[in-house]
Structure 1
Amino acid sequence: MIERFLLPDLGEGLPEAEIVQWLVEEGDAVALNQTIAEVETAKAIVEIPSPHAGVVRTLHAAAGDVVDVGAPLISFDVDVDVDVDVEERVEAPIAAPAAASDDEESGPNLVGYGAAARRSGPPRRRPRTHAGRTRAVDTAVLEAAPHDARPRPVPADEPGRERPRSTPPVRALAKQLGVDLALVEASGVAGVITRGDVEAYATATAPARTAEAQPSAPSPADGGVDARTTRIPIRGVRKHTAEAMVRSAFTAPHVTTFLTVDVTETMDLLTRLREEREYREERIGILAVVAKAVCLALQRHPELNARWDQDAGEIVQHHYVNLGIAAATPRGLLVPHIADADRMSAVALSRAIRDLADTARAGRTAPGALAGGTFSITNVGVFGIDAGTPILNPGEAGILALGAVQPRPWEHRGAVALRQVTTLALSFDHRLVDGEQGARFLAFVGELLRDPARALLLG
């Protein structure tokens, strides 16, 4: 019997996903819950487990294709008695989507409790049909898990060859420059090949590749190296970010207010902490202190920790803070959140921010961490920017931008002195927050940064 597997909703109602790479081919024998493909949604890279044990009959899309949720992804012949060499198998329930047979149409399922095994007992060992391609399963499925992207001495036509980890724009650039990504040394986080890696490889090998291939002169019409434009498909994170920002900008009436603050006392505190043995390894920075100040300010000004429920005709105020932290990644801008940030100390927030950023840049952020935020912070200061007008994340009432901390001449105790100064920019939804409320919230955050000892007096 042929079982057809439809692309499931991988979380948060995303309508489509791009196939990054297939880990099986037509004719391969696969085990239940074996990882068969990596797909990229607008939020994360996700491993897809097999819902059946059987033989792959049809791959309904190729690597690089964008597949709609509910569309056929792969078909299996499940009547074949299959023995797959599985070195490690965990029988705990896993998140494996449901499938539909060719004779019966059904809609896509949310990620469920796992596929039912079609036979009992451990699988018997048998030599693999294609060496190195049928692999053991890590049952922590449906979590972003980029694979090793370092160069492998594998011939281009070897059936089991895996595609190196990179983003769609980088793959497009490699194709444009005639670079084989399998030969490129990866310098990005978690072995991700960056644009700089491709350009460096292309420059270093240009004479050899030119002498070997002798290609005809490229032209703008065929998108060659000398073309005056480059076309990059709008997919993944970039597409999701664009849609969210347009929806936010044209739904919530934005207001942005600015405050320039003397943060010398806070910077002196951070310097002292870095010199103390107990906190030296924590690497606490200004962003963690701002995060703590925001959490304290939201307790006093809950209007900023709310959302507008249009359907119910209600304003929903949250009694917890899921603090979003904007993170620039090779795949684009992500804003994962720290759950219950209001219950954390500045030290704990520093650790959480560091872990969040590392996970996001590695492409391993779970979809659930990208939804449900109640307020966000974006640190534009790391790029040397003084201030900006941040756009709200849809569903949130406020977002704070932290500018660069720089020494400036500043009035201090009746005289002009060189002080550490930064600019804060608060954007808020004017349906939920009045100008006075937004101003008082920002002033309170600024006061805590001006005199961090005040935080000790707040319950």
Structure 2
Amino acid sequence: MSTQNFTLPDVGEGLTEAEIVTWKVAPGDTVAINDVICEIETAKSLVELPSPHAGVVGELLAAEGETVEVGAPIITFVTDARDDAGPGVVATAEAPAPEEGGGSVLVGYGTGGGATSRRKRPAERPVRSSVGVIAKPPIRKLARDLGVDLTTVTPTGADGEVTRDDVVTHAQQASVFRNIETPEWGAVREETVPAPQSAPSGLARGLSPAAPAAPAATVSDDRTESIPVKGVRKATSSAMVQSAYSAPHVTVWKEIDASRTMELVKRLKASPDYTDIRVSPLLIMARAVIWAARRTPMVNAAWVETEGGAEISVRHYVNLGIAAATPRGLLVPNIKDAQDLSMKDLARALNRLTLTAREGKTSPADQQGGTITITNIGVFGMDAGTPIINPGEAGIVAMGTISQKPWVVDGEVRPRWVTTVAGSFDHRVIDGDGMSRFIADVASVLEEPALLVE
């Protein structure tokens, strides 16, 4: 028998630290190679760490909620040297099927891809709760993360099972009404949230990932509240400052009659080819941006510092970023080679991207290599904005809310579906005339989607 220390590995993102979110094991538990031992949160994603050892858990060296540097020991194992494959060795046994809706899995040791197993994991089959709801464990977790009460969801699956789409659709409908009521001010005047050391995480205590006070809080006054800047918020703030103060931003915008876009969305929703795909105006917007970027390639380029000065890298492909507000904060996953996708494939890709982001399971690879970004601020009821460019890109497009307004058509005032499209660009890479042409092209497609038919 021997004692093995397991140190926090480099998860391949160029990061130096991560937060222990949830331990999946406890001292005395028996684990096999590739059993998930904990979830960690980096600045980019939630990652499951599989065990590189088979044996008994000795001691947990880091607490939930604690931020640990790469290379620091986090857990010890008591192992039999004959059975211990050690770090970097993949178990020879066939890996179990990936968990539905599971998170990113660390590469470099353990099973590849998303194939992991959990200690004492319940069978992946629908289970009926005391209130009679049928749903698989991953769907229940998704409902908890989105704040959805499963008893209020209308099931569409076989035998009355609640599906993933049922939960997501319910959450989207509920979000329209969430901000109608204004919460009362609390009786506590000030709340200070210390940097977490040994306090249990919000997830471990049954809170939503969006709960603002996941670390334990000490109360002193109710006028202010201090929240540690870490994880996604820390990475976002650093990236936005870098972008805002290194790239000269300029923003242009145009108001658009998007009535024909709304008609197309309605037809696609009714089409048998799209029965299993959620369709929204964002799909047409994505197609418009891809089409317009091909006509104005510089908006899809990037400014690159070199030893001799600088150069502009013009990409002849589109890795389309979609800014997503998630329980973990703002993420910008992107659809690789979006220019090669059909309308239906692009719709499926948007569905997968959105669902994965809302579950907090966006992988680091999905957030790297973007070339141009769309931010759909219309879902928050905003008409327009001046978005900040994602680092490494030269342009970002903001789509405002689509609402009925009076519009002049053939000399007559009629109610039309109107939206505003704004675009910010890096003036080092592209001039105003180029960005104006690009936004005009996007507007043309939203006004007449038939332009996409070539």
Q: Verify the 8 A CA contact 1:33 1:137 in the aligned structure 2.
A: no
Q: In structure 1, what is the Cα distance between the partners aligned to 2:51 and 2:383?
A: 50
What one-letter code is carried by the residue in structure 2 that aligns with 1:73? I
Within 5 A, what are the aligned runs for 1:235-384?
Answer: 235-311=230-306, 313-384=310-381
Rate the CA distance shift 1:223–1:300 in 2: closer, same or farther, 3 A: same
Q: Verify the 8 A CA contact 2:407 2:416 in the aligned structure 1.
A: yes
Shift of 1:146: 10
Rate the CA distance shift 1:264–1:90 in 2: closer, same or farther, 3 A: farther
Q: Which residue of 108, 115, 119 maps to 1:112?
A: 108
Q: Verify the 8 A CA contact 1:292 1:345 in the aligned structure 2.
A: no
Rate the CA distance shift 1:137–1:256 in 2: closer, same or farther, 3 A: same
Q: In structure 2, what is the Cα distance between the partners aligned to 1:275 and 1:422?
A: 23
Q: In structure 1, what is the Cα distance between the partners aligned to 2:294 and 2:28?
A: 59
Q: Deviations over 1:253-278 (max 9, x none)?
A: 11111111111122122223334444
Rate the CA distance shift 1:311–1:7 in 2: closer, same or farther, 3 A: farther
| 3-state SS of paired residue (1:354) | helix
| 3-state SS of paired residue (2:64) | coil
| 3-state SS of paired residue (2:306) | coil
- Tell me whether 1:16 sits opposite 2:11 in the alignment: no
Shift of 1:249: 0.9
Rate the CA distance shift 1:310–1:147 in 2: closer, same or farther, 3 A: farther
| 3-state SS of paired residue (1:393) | coil
What one-letter code is carried by the residue in structure 2 that aligns with 1:112? G
What one-letter code is carried by the residue in structure 1 that aligns with 2:76? S
What one-letter code is carried by the residue in structure 1 that aligns with 2:46? I
Counterpart of 1:442 in structure 2 is 439
Q: In structure 1, what is the Cα distance between the partners aligned to 2:258 and 2:142?
A: 42
Q: Verify the 8 A CA contact 1:149 1:193 in the aligned structure 2.
A: no
| 3-state SS of paired residue (1:310) | strand
Q: Verify the 8 A CA contact 1:253 1:430 in the aligned structure 2.
A: yes
Q: Verify the 8 A CA contact 2:302 2:393 in the aligned structure 1.
A: yes
Aligned-residue RMSD, C-alpha: 3.5
Within 5 A, what are the aligned runs for 1:147-158?
Answer: 148=141
What is the TM-score with the length of structure 1 in the denominator?
A: 0.71
Q: In structure 2, what is the Cα distance between the partners aligned to 1:146 and 1:5?
A: 32
Shift of 1:316: 1.3
Counterpart of 1:391 in structure 2 is 388
Moved more, 241-250 or 70-79: 70-79
Q: In structure 1, what is the Cα distance between the partners aligned to 2:77 and 2:403?
A: 61
Q: Deviations over 1:97-121 (max 9, x none)?
A: xxxxxxxxxxxxx942549xxxxxx
Within 5 A, what are the aligned runs for 1:114-153?
Answer: 114=110, 134-135=119-120, 148=141
Counterpart of 1:5 in structure 2 is 6
Rate the CA distance shift 1:389–1:90 in 2: closer, same or farther, 3 A: farther
Q: Verify the 8 A CA contact 2:21 2:203 in the aligned structure 1.
A: no
Shift of 1:281: 4.7
| 3-state SS of paired residue (1:14) | coil
Q: Verify the 8 A CA contact 2:52 2:109 in the aligned structure 1.
A: no
What one-letter code is carried by the residue in structure 2 that aligns with 1:325? I
Within 5 A, what are the aligned runs for 1:209-224?
Answer: 222-223=218-219
| 3-state SS of paired residue (1:55) | strand
Rate the CA distance shift 1:52–1:195 in 2: closer, same or farther, 3 A: closer
Q: Verify the 8 A CA contact 1:146 1:364 in the aligned structure 2.
A: no
Larger Rg: 1
Q: Which residue of 413, 417, 420 maps to 1:420?
A: 417
Counterpart of 1:121 in structure 2 is none
Within 5 A, what are the aligned runs for 1:39-50?
Answer: 39-50=40-51
Q: In structure 2, what is the Cα distance between the partners aligned to 1:454 and 1:76?
A: 62
Q: In structure 1, what is the Cα distance between the partners aligned to 2:53 and 2:276?
A: 47
Q: Verify the 8 A CA contact 1:34 1:137 in the aligned structure 2.
A: no
What one-letter code is carried by the residue in structure 2 that aligns with 1:20? V
> Unmatched 5+ residue regions in structure 1?
84-88, 95-109, 116-132, 139-144, 152-171, 187-191, 199-220
| 3-state SS of paired residue (1:3) | strand
Higher strand share: 2
What one-letter code is carried by the residue in structure 1 that aligns with 2:93? E
Q: In structure 1, what is the Cα distance between the partners aligned to 2:316 and 2:438?
A: 17
Q: Deviations over 1:40-87 (max 9, x none)?
A: 11222111111122333443211110001122222334356779xxxx
| 3-state SS of paired residue (1:363) | coil
Shift of 1:442: 0.7
Counterpart of 2:404 in structure 1 is 407
Q: In structure 2, what is the Cα distance between the partners aligned to 1:82 and 1:136?
A: 22
| 3-state SS of paired residue (2:225) | coil
Shift of 1:194: 5.3
Within 5 A, what are the aligned runs for 1:65-104?
Answer: 65-79=66-80, 91=93
Q: Deviations over 1:225-274 (max 9, x none)?
A: x6332222212211111111111111211111111111112212222333
Q: Verify the 8 A CA contact 1:315 1:432 in the aligned structure 2.
A: yes
| 3-state SS of paired residue (1:240) | helix
What one-letter code is carried by the residue in structure 2 that aligns with 1:344? L
Q: Deviations over 1:103-158 (max 9, x none)?
A: xxxxxxx942549xxxxxxxxxxxxxxxxx944699xxxxxx8994999xxxxxxx
Q: In structure 1, what is the Cα distance between the partners aligned to 2:444 and 2:202?
A: 54
Rate the CA distance shift 1:40–1:193 in 2: closer, same or farther, 3 A: closer
Q: Verify the 8 A CA contact 2:22 2:204 in the aligned structure 1.
A: no
What is the TM-score with the length of structure 2 in the denominator?
A: 0.71
| 3-state SS of paired residue (2:386) | coil
Shift of 1:430: 1.0
Rate the CA distance shift 1:146–1:8 in 2: closer, same or farther, 3 A: farther
Within 5 A, what are the aligned runs for 1:177-188?
Answer: none
What one-letter code is carried by the residue in structure 1 that aligns with 2:366? A
What one-letter code is carried by the residue in structure 2 that aligns with 1:68? E
